Amino acid sequence: MKGYRTTMLLGAGTKRALIIGGLAALAVVATTLVPLAATATPSSSLRRYPYLTDLVQRSVTVNWATTTNITSGSVAYGRAGVESCSAHTLEASRTAITVGTTPEYQWKATIRRLKPNTSYCYRIVGSGSDLLGSDASPVFRSQLPKDSTVTYRFAVIGDWGWQDTASLNTDQANVLSELASSGARFAVSTGDIAYQSGSQTNYGDLVQTGPTTSTVFGPNYWTVAGSQIPMFNVLGNHGLNSTVLTNWPEKRATNSSGGRYEMDTYCCTNGTRSASYPSAWYAFDAGPARFYILDASWANSNLGTADVYKNDFDNHWMTTSAEYEWLEDDLETHPDGLKFAFFHFPLHSANATEGSDPYLAGPSNLEGLLAEHGVDIVFNGHAHTYARSSGSSTAPVDYVTGGGGAHLEPATVCGAPIAAALGWSYSSSTHGSSCGSLPRPETIDRVFHFLLVTVKGSTVTVTPTDELGRTFDVQTYNFG
């Protein structure tokens, strides 16, 4: 395949190269394209390779970025293997952004009326030219209808978008390469994407390089997965600004669940200053499961007389808070089926620095609310480790997955309810650390990871997968 291709060895034992714009997880579907003003390779005007968000019900949103010489944009799409990838056309809207010192346009178009559980291919068009050139058409699969019995997989990844030098973060690139080929239908973050501040420069593009630049949309990062695997984003304590709403639009999921996904003014709990932060909470269905994307975050730079955990609780998780009331109502109106919850601050952490959140954990707090209403598994980030906690009648099973690419942290806070954990210290002589049933990791590539979750009826299997594709601590749950 010709086109935007980057081939490199990403760490010992890596067997695959990254193919930018190819189909990492799905076979290329032969189609006939409506002729456009083609380019030999992806256009130099394309600055962010297309990536997907908001895969809910019968819709999906396609996102990309270009230079400002592209003044119109559209998505062409069709049912893969059934019709042309340019069988239908949809106009896109644009938002002006700046990456580094370069003005760009961020584009998006929401495709509606998709057939459920169906493969679609697509092209992106700018000012009359096919921006993908000779690259193969990306393929994605539309969402499963509610209560479908089809087995599927989704990925969970947290705390990534990190490149603190001009060199490639090979650990992160490896994790994302493995995720791209995992067979996941979609992915959910557990927060903290694009270090350190979540700016458009941190997110970056296909061209610009340097420390803290292009940590997400660089050619070796989310680019390898995003054109086929839609992402649902969770807020973290890094990047609490409007950029996150621009880059990860989730309008359909928010509107269909009565959630919130916009900037709000927060003032002035615990002596914090008045600040404008995104509020992001919503829910969606995928087959027999309901997914809750929740906001448990606060900015490190605005503490007042408290800490991030207390400020988050007082603004989001008091019983009179808007998010708490929305969540309680949605849980009560959806009493049946599997339920998964995703938020940033961890209920139970094995790391001393980014510890367990005392305001969210416990039967009288958010953890108890989730347990009372049948939430089966909670996924958190914030601590740059892997950890699994045993569930109980008053607590769901809880995973901390913060090893997506940011600098790792040790796992040294062991004991109940932590059943297993992995961590890493860059300064200690032993480096690797573990809790519970897992052996101490001898190499760092054992700790960088994502979670692959398989849903088969009421049976759920969580498969932690490290950056070289090795699985560990695989657990299967039958939730009845």
Stated as kind and residue range, the H or E segment containing 425 is none
Q: 231-232 and 186-189 as β-strands: parallel, antiparallel, unpaired?
A: parallel
* In the predicted structure, residue 274 carries a pLDDT above the cut 50: yes
Nearest to 175 by CA among 476, 477, 459, 445: 445
Backbone dihedral angles phi then psi of residue 300, each to the nearest 5 degrees: -60, -25
Residue 195 φ/ψ region, left for φ over 0, alpha for ψ in the -120 to 50 degree band, beta for the rest? beta
Reduced 3-state DSSP string for 121-175: EEEEEECCEECCCCCCCCEEECCCCCCCCCCEEEEEECCECCCCCCCCCHHHHHH
| Rounded-to-integer distance, Cα 164 and Cα 215, Å | 9
pLDDT confidence tier of residue 5, bands split at 50, 70 and 90: very low
* In the predicted structure, residue 376 carries a pLDDT above the cut 60: yes
pLDDT confidence tier of residue 265, bands split at 50, 70 and 90: very high
| Rounded-to-integer distance, Cα 308 and Cα 355, Å | 11
Section 237-252 average pLDDT? 97
Instruction: Name residue, tokens 């109940």.
Output: 416
pLDDT confidence tier of residue 393, bands split at 50, 70 and 90: confident
Nearest to 287 by CA among 340, 346, 356: 340
* DSSP one-letter code for 37: B
* In the predicted structure, residue 218 carries a pLDDT above the cut 80: yes
* Assigned token pair, 431: 């480096």
pLDDT for the residue 30: 33
| Rounded-to-integer distance, Cα 385 and Cα 343, Å | 15
What is the residue type of 193?
A: I
pLDDT confidence tier of residue 28, bands split at 50, 70 and 90: very low
Nearest to 423 by CA among 360, 346, 366: 346
Instruction: Name residue, tokens 């509107």.
Output: 255
Q: Cis omega before residue 196 (within 30°)?
A: yes
| Rounded-to-integer distance, Cα 280 and Cα 261, Å | 4
CB-side neighbour CA atoms (13 Å) of 32: 2
pLDDT confidence tier of residue 352, bands split at 50, 70 and 90: very high
pLDDT in tens, 31-87: 333 334 444 478 999 999 999 999 999 999 999 999 999 999 999 999 999 999 999
Rounded to the nearest integer, the mean pLDDT of the chain is 92
| 82 CB-near residues (< 8 Å, 6+ apart) | none
pLDDT confidence tier of residue 255, bands split at 50, 70 and 90: very high
Instruction: Name residue, tokens 């009648």.
Output: 393
Contact status, residue 52 vs residue 231, Cβ threshold 8 Å: yes
β-bridge mates for residue 475, sequence order: 462
Section 166-191 average pLDDT? 97
Contact status, residue 28 vs residue 20, Cβ threshold 8 Å: no
pLDDT for the residue 12: 33
pLDDT confidence tier of residue 472, bands split at 50, 70 and 90: very high
| Rounded-to-integer distance, Cα 94 and Cα 72, Å | 8
pLDDT in tens, 83-137: 999 999 999 999 999 999 999 999 999 999 999 999 999 999 999 999 999 999 9
pLDDT for the residue 2: 30
pLDDT in tens, 409-454: 999 999 999 999 999 999 988 999 999 999 999 999 999 999 999 9
| Rounded-to-integer distance, Cα 5 and Cα 166, Å | 20
pLDDT for the residue 480: 83
| Rounded-to-integer distance, Cα 465 and Cα 216, Å | 20
Whether the CA torsion 297, 302, 308, 312 is positive or negative: it is: negative
Section 187-203 average pLDDT? 97
What is the residue type of 365?
A: N
| Rounded-to-integer distance, Cα 368 and Cα 365, Å | 5
Strand order in the sheet with 102-111: 93-99, 102-111, 59-67, 46-56, 231-232, 186-189, 152-157, 449-456, 459-466, 475-478
* In the predicted structure, residue 198 carries a pLDDT above the cut 80: yes
Residue 393: exposure state from Cβ atoms within 10 A (0-12, 13-18, ≥19): exposed
pLDDT for the residue 216: 98
| Rounded-to-integer distance, Cα 402 and Cα 410, Å | 11
Which architecture, in CATH terms, is 152-478?
Answer: 4-Layer Sandwich (3.60)
